[in-house]
């Protein structure tokens, strides 16, 4: 079984800035991954990350997520892809420096979508990387879309496609971003309570409380991410999704299955 991990773009960059990577935090997460892999060499990992202040600003500026009509100038498409790759290089270099065999795989090189949904993605190279005990590193990216010209394929959409339409079925997905899901926005309400577990019993109440992203985000924010993860849990009933913050030790503890009361777990029951 596989573990999918996502480093949120709002965590590894300052999304209110432009191309502002949080290098110390990226290094910390890379080291935690390395320590977990050293303790558990059998961990089969696929890592994805958002584009944060790299790709999102270009995508929003040029309207890539809304689609480009026929005859449009696609230079903004190219700029968005290049920005996403710049952040991907930073992440992969940090992983390599930590001693992990990370391999960058650019989704847009072989990705096709229709109305924002993936219709084709050549993932044989990704599977081969796993067979050689490498860690494939993908990222939110642009895509040519045969209905609207262009779209943004978020990391969650990419991971969902791998989970449902390839043999790479995960038993865990770890989203490193917000410190969990809360009963209200903790930035605005100091009384907001962390929700440690989301199941069918409380899903609707939780979704009602969630809001969008707090910075430029062309992929929909927290609510859309929760809805997508719930669809995955429904499709793979044994799946657990962990939403955790980037505080030191969180990622390593969850990877190693340690009993920690952090973040939010999404599962069927």
Residues within the annotated binding site for substrate? 51, 56, 155
- Report d(CA 146, CA 124) in Å as an integer: 23
Q: Give the Cα separation of 206 and 201 in Å (integer).
A: 10
Contacts of 8 (CB under 8 A, 6+ apart): 49, 50, 52, 175, 176, 177, 178
Give the other-Cβ count within 10 Å of 216's Cβ: 18
Task: List the binding residues for ATP.
Answer: 6-10, 52, 221, 225
Known binding residues: 6-10, 51-52, 56, 155, 221, 225
Range 48-83 burial, b when 16+ CB lie within 10 A, else e: bbbbbbbbbbbbbebebbeebeeeeeeebbebbbeb
């Amino acid at each position: 079984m596989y573990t999918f991990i996502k480093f949120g773009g709002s965590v590894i960059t300052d999304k209110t800035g432009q191309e502002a990577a949080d290098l110390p935090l990226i290094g910390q997460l890379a080291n935690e991954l390395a320590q977990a892999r050293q303790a558990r060499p059998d961990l089969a990992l696929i890592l994805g990350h958002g584009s944060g202040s790299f790709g999102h600003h270009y995508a929003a500026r040029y309207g890539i997520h809304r689609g480009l009509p026929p005859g449009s100038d696609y230079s903004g498409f190219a700029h968005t892809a290049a920005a996403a790759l710049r952040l991907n290089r930073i992440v992969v270099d940090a992983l390599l420096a930590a001693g992990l065999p990370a391999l960058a795989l650019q989704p847009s090189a072989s990705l096709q979508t229709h109305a924002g949904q993936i219709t084709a993605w050549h993932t044989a190279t990704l599977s081969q990387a796993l067979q050689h005990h490498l860690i494939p590193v993908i990222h939110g990216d642009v895509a040519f879309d045969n209905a609207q010209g262009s779209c943004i394929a978020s990391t969650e959409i990419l991971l969902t496609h791998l989970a449902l339409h390839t043999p790479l079925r995960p038993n865990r997905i770890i989203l490193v971003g917000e410190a969990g899901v809360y009963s209200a926005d903790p930035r605005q309400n100091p009384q907001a309570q962390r929700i440690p577990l989301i199941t069918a019993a409380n899903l609707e109440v939780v979704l009602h409380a969630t809001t969008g992203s707090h910075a430029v985000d062309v992929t929909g924010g927290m609510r859309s991410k929760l809805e997508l993860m719930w669809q995955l849990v429904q499709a793979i009933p044994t799946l657990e999704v962990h939403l955790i913050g980037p505080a030191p030790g969180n990622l390593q503890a969850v990877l190693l299955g340690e009993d920690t009361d952090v973040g939010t777990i999404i599962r069927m029951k």
